[in-house]
Amino acid sequence: SYDVLVVGGGPAGAAAAIYSARKGIRTGVVGERFGGQVLDTMSIENFISVTETEGPKFAAALEQHVKTYDVDIINLQRAEKLIPASAANPLTEIKLASGATLKAKTVIIATGARWREINVPGEREYRNHGVAYCPHCDGPLFKGKRVAVIGGGNSGVEAAIDLAGLVSHVTLLEFGAELRADEVLQRKLRSLTNVTVHTSAQTTEVKGDGKKVNGIDFKDLTSGELKHVELEGVFVQIGLVPNTEWLKGTLELSRHGEIIVDARGQTSLPGVFAAGDVTTVPFKQIVIAVGEGAKAALSAFDHLIRS
Ligand code: FAD
């Protein structure tokens, strides 16, 4: 059995594994895809101390750093079930899709999240070539250009306000008849002169020249009319889905499905910690995920020496 078993091999999981291994305790990391969301990223310019890098390069560096320690890496394995420790069985068990079971004194869950897609033609094709999901990450790439934000909830309206300060023009498209963001955000949005809002607007296609985005098509659901806007970027902001489907019923989740953690990364189950995009910790960023991963590992170590 492991002292610490990390589930998820993204930035949070890698940091948790390194911090655990550095305590000289038996550490394992099991994940579906080492590197996590970073593998889907083109350029990373906001990981402090690294001026600029590429996602796959960053992911390889994470793996290389983990491999300099005595850590069991169990890659390409999906965790399907967590069985909490009990009086009869003091170890937490993680069941894998392969049928195997891993046992550990403490578990750190770092299974991350995924952006909800609009599922229209052009979205996948132009991902990283004009289609983006993270305004904090990719906003500066569109400085002075025209962009659309899809989604009129809090994240969409926040993104539109944020981007309006950087880009020349923002078109906000909301499928429903009204924006769903908080009133303060809507008021701020309405005060901006370079934002156009379309409600009852169904995005039908992201257009491009074969290399990068050059426009967007949407259907005006009130008139039935098809409309086209020329632009260089599309930010999809219709929700971030935490990878916690496999945990339902075992530990406490927020209404958005995020694992509820305290300031130490402790979940509702003793000995089970969580870190990164999968948790309630706000702002889903690499630099935050690695910090949270390190914190969860130190908390797990603290738990081990006290029990
Ligand atoms: P993840 O990176 O999501 O890693 C989770 C890992 O767990 C994955 O490997 C996944 O396969 C695995 N996993 C999931 N479920 C299971 C399971 N049941 N069993 C086993 N393994 C499982 N952030 C920045 O700071 N700067 C950027 O420039 C930036 N650009 C981005 C661009 C894109 C296109 C995307 C999608 C995200 C971007 N982000 C960026 C956000 C950043 O990638 C995330 O905040 C960060 O990767 C979160 O790390 P994590 O370890 O919590 O989760």
Q: What is the pLDDT of residues 144-199, one digit of tens each?
A: 999 999 999 999 999 999 999 999 999 999 999 999 999 999 999 999 999 999 99
* pLDDT < 50: residue spans in the chain: none
State the pLDDT at residue 250: 97
State the pLDDT at residue 35: 95
31 lines ligand 1 (CB under 6 A): yes
Helix runs in 165-279, H state only: 183-190
Residue 18 and residue 286: Cα distance in Å, rounded? 16
Per the CB < 8 A criterion, the answer to whether 226 and 219 are in contact is: yes
pLDDT tens sequence across 240-268: 999 999 999 999 999 999 999 999 999 99
Q: How far is CA 265 from CA 47, 276, 306, in A?
A: 22, 9, 16
State the pLDDT at residue 77: 97
- DSSP helix/strand/coil, 202: strand
Of 18, 30, 37, the one to substitute when testing ligand 1's pocket (max ligand atoms within 8 A of C-beta) is 37
Which numbered atom of ligand 1 lies nearest the CA of 79?
A: 19
Amino acid present at 113: A
72 labelled binding-site residue: no
232 lines ligand 1 (CB under 6 A): no
269 labelled binding-site residue: yes
Which numbered atom of ligand 1 lies nearest the CA of 46?
A: 26
187 CA → ligand 1 middle, Å? 32
275: number of Cβ within 10 Å: 33
H/E stretch holding 161: helix 154-164
221 CA → ligand 1 middle, Å? 35
- Name residue 239's beta-bridge partners: none
60 labelled binding-site residue: no
State the pLDDT at residue 78: 97
- DSSP helix/strand/coil, 278: helix
Q: Is ipTM strictly over 0.85? A: yes
Six token digits for residue 14: 């890698």
Q: What is the DSSP string of 82-125?
A: EE---SS--SEEEEETTS-EEEEEEEEE---EEEPP---TTTTT
104 labelled binding-site residue: no
113 CA → ligand 1 middle, Å? 6
Residue 153 and residue 94: Cα distance in Å, rounded? 36
State the pLDDT at residue 90: 95
State the pLDDT at residue 41: 85
Amino acid present at 217: D
Determine which residue's CA is closest to atom 39 belonging to ligand 1: 285
Of 134, 241, 283, 290, the one to substitute when testing ligand 1's pocket (max ligand atoms within 8 A of C-beta) is 134
pTM: 0.93
Residues 6+ apart with CB under 8 A from 42: 54, 55, 128
Residue 193 has φ and ψ, to the nearest 5°, of -85, -15
Determine which residue's CA is closest to atom 21 belonging to ligand 1: 31
Of 279, 286, 288, the one to substitute when testing ligand 1's pocket (max ligand atoms within 8 A of C-beta) is 286
